[in-house]
Amino acid sequence: MDMETEKKVVANQAIMTARNVDVFYGKKQAIDNVSLDILENEITALIGPSGCGKSTFLRCFNRMNDTIDICKVSGKIEFAGQDIYSPKVDVVALRARIGMVFQKANPFPKSIFENVAYGPRIHDLAESKAELEDIVITSLKRAGLYDEVSDRLEDPGTSLSGGQQQRLCIARAIAVDPEIILMDEPCSALDPIATAIIEDLMESMKRHYTIVIVTHSMAQAARISQKTAFFHLGKVIEYGETEKMFTTPDNELTQNYISGRIG
Amino acid sequence: MSDTHIVSSFSNDLNQIDSLVLEMGGLVEQQLHNATLALQKEDRTLAKDVMKGDSRINELENELNDVAIKVLALRQPVAVDLRTVVMSLKIARHLERIGDYIKNTARRTNTIAKAGAFTGSLDTLARMSELVQKMTQDALNAYSKRDADAAQAVRESDKHVDHMNNSLFRELLTYMMEDPSHIGGAMHLIFIAKNIERMGDHVADIAKETLYLINGEWPEGKREKEDITSKMILDVDELNTES
């Protein structure tokens, strides 16, 4: 695998489409008839008050909801034209193509190198030790972490600072060469400087990847995303250009939320 | 839209911005009323009071600038709140400029009154001034109530100010051609009329910015402007045919 080969950048093509998606936790409906296109090489932000369903919806994209027994997803979600909920889909392979970064950095209790090498190894992405090293270094570089850890790759991942650990998790997600990276409040446990570094990183990452981020920080959504979807009580109230959303939203509910009038 | 923010001090800040804009507007109206009265009555004391009164308008603008910058820095307003803050800054600038034109009008009034210069009939000037006062009041009501129709009506009424200025310009040129001793006073009156005509333009801009505040987009199409004084010239023959 040559990770430096530029992926073809076709702006404004939908890489992921959700149609009439409903999600139930038992009898409680968390997502109500949501249809949304995620465009390639863009950052899409999902915002909305707590409990609005944005994280639930994000987790539909790589079938993370499968891990919750009472959770039932219906409707259609297609990734690169393929129904990801089809029984034929290999979920492990799907999650390699659609990576995820969580709110709290969760490095494996292994070395920095092994944290990143783990994915490529289990997916058999490297044919030689040299190639594996190449993947690890490239991933760390793309995650903006390499310069800070290049002389201590054998140190434990947990020895890094919070912001570095989060970038290590991003490097780990990148290492299996995904097309989409889902981020669930990736900066909420970080200080403003570490947050700024990750935001800057996301900006550079969108050349290679499509990013969908759930964030509680509307300012963060405004700073980094090209598209924003506003969720409220399980529905998408408004979805469109971030710039428009934060200057002249169409919907009154959106306006009330982003301007701090409703929680 | 809900009027209040979860953080109520944010709403208070925005209310303060509105209050400052309205206070400036009220003062501008009052100043223009007094300046016109001073001209009609050749009241130099009142004219001087108007000249002094302008500094309060400037102070209010500074105060509004401070509040707006604080809100931008501390609240990071978005959507309608952002438009309110940015448009209030522009509207305050217009009101401050109108204040300057009023001050200049008062200064010219003082000069005319001191010299006992020719003024002729001041009816048209007074009507222009009243219309601009009314437009100012309407524009600020439109701002205060976020009333797009009222703002649009203000934009449309500015052409009447232009018409009056056109006919006054012609009238004053005629006076000057009839008798050179009229020139001193009439020149000042032409500048005063021009001042009021410019005030009308500023009020029309306030109405336009109010529309942007409300709708998030600029009104389509150009406003009708009918000030043609820059194209006017009278020669002696024309004067003779008119008389």
Domains of chain B: 8-242 (1.20.58.220)
Question: In terms of Cα–Cα distance, which of B114, B98, B121, B97 is closest to B189?
Answer: B121
Question: In terms of Cα–Cα distance, which of B54, B50, B48, B39 is closest to B189?
Answer: B39
Give domain status of residue A197, yes or no.
yes
Report the alpha-carbon distance of residue A226 to residue A40 in Å, rounded. 11
User: B126 with B40: CB under 8 angstroms?
Assistant: yes
Yes or no, beta carbons of A262 and B82 under 8 Å apart: no
Yes or no, beta carbons of A261 and B6 under 8 Å apart: yes
Yes or no, beta carbons of A260 and B76 under 8 Å apart: no
Q: Is the pLDDT of residue B2 over 90?
A: no
> What pLDDT, on the 0 to 100 scale, is given for residue A5?
46
Yes or no, beta carbons of B217 and A248 under 8 Å apart: yes
- pLDDT per position as a tens digit, A89-148: 999 999 999 999 999 999 999 999 999 999 999 999 999 999 999 999 999 999 999 999
**ipTM topping 0.90:** no
Report the alpha-carbon distance of residue B139 to residue B89 in Å, rounded. 15
pLDDT band at B223 (very low <50, low <70, confident <90, very high): confident
Give domain status of residue A189, yes or no.
yes
Question: In terms of Cα–Cα distance, which of A40, A75, A11 is closest to A212?
Answer: A40
User: Which token pair is B29?
Assistant: 């109206």
Beta-sheet pairing, A82-83 with A43-47:
unpaired
User: B107 with B54: CB under 8 angstroms?
Assistant: no
Report the alpha-carbon distance of residue B90 to residue B64 in Å, rounded. 11
Q: Is B6 on the interface with A (CB under 8 A)?
A: yes
pLDDT band at B236 (very low <50, low <70, confident <90, very high): low
> What pLDDT, on the 0 to 100 scale, is given for residue A8?
46
pLDDT band at A6 (very low <50, low <70, confident <90, very high): very low
Task: Report the mean per-residue pLDDT for chain B.
Answer: 93
Helix (H, G, I), strand (E, B) or coil at A36: strand
- pLDDT per position as a tens digit, B54-69: 999 999 999 999 999 9
> What pLDDT, on the 0 to 100 scale, is given for residue A11?
52
Give domain status of residue A263, yes or no.
no
pLDDT band at A10 (very low <50, low <70, confident <90, very high): very low
> What pLDDT, on the 0 to 100 scale, is given for residue A262?
80
For A26, other C-beta atoms within 10 Å of its C-beta total: 9
Q: How many domains does chain A have?
A: 1
Average pLDDT over residues A201-221: 94
> What pLDDT, on the 0 to 100 scale, is given for residue B180?
93
Which B positions 191-220 lie with beta carbon below 8 A of chain A? 216-217
Beta-sheet pairing, A227-232 with A235-241:
antiparallel
Report the alpha-carbon distance of residue B206 to residue B88 in Å, rounded. 9
Give domain status of residue A139, yes or no.
yes
Q: Is the pLDDT of residue B93 over 80?
A: yes
Yes or no, beta carbons of B4 and A218 under 8 Å apart: no
Q: Which of A246, A259, A262 to mutate to test the interface with B (most CBs of B within 10 A)?
A: A259
The count of C-alpha atoms lying within 13 angstroms of the C-alpha of A238, restricted to the half-sphere facing its C-beta, is: 20
Give domain status of residue A63, yes or no.
yes
> What pLDDT, on the 0 to 100 scale, is given for residue A121?
94
Element (H, E) at B15: helix B8-41
pLDDT band at A248 (very low <50, low <70, confident <90, very high): very high
Q: Which residue of A has its CA nearest to B10?
A: A260
Give domain status of residue A81, yes or no.
yes
- pLDDT per position as a tens digit, A31-63: 999 999 999 999 999 999 999 999 999 999 999
Q: For residue A238, what is the domain's CATH number?
A: 3.40.50.300
Q: Domain limits at A147?
A: 3-258
pLDDT band at B132 (very low <50, low <70, confident <90, very high): very high
pLDDT band at A206 (very low <50, low <70, confident <90, very high): very high
Q: Is the pLDDT of residue B124 over 60?
A: yes
Report the alpha-carbon distance of residue A156 to residue A17 in Å, rounded. 39
- pLDDT per position as a tens digit, A15-35: 999 999 999 999 999 999 999
Please state, in angstroms and as integers, the Cα–Cα distance from residue B154 to each residue in A137, B165, B185, following that order: 65, 17, 31
Q: Is A222 on the interface with B (CB under 8 A)?
A: yes
Q: Which residues in chain A have Cβ-Cβ distances shorter than 8 Å to B77?
A: 259
Give domain status of residue A251, yes or no.
yes
A218, A246, A256: residue with CB nearest B1: A256
> What pLDDT, on the 0 to 100 scale, is given for residue B241?
59
pLDDT band at B234 (very low <50, low <70, confident <90, very high): confident
- Going along A81-164, which residue ranges are E strands? 82-83, 98-101
pLDDT band at A7 (very low <50, low <70, confident <90, very high): very low
A263: distance to nearest CA of chain B, Å? 8
Give domain status of residue A127, yes or no.
yes
Q: Is B236 on the interface with A (CB under 8 A)?
A: no
User: Which token pair is A2?
Assistant: 């040559």
Q: Is the pLDDT of residue A86 over 80?
A: yes
Yes or no, beta carbons of B81 and A259 under 8 Å apart: yes
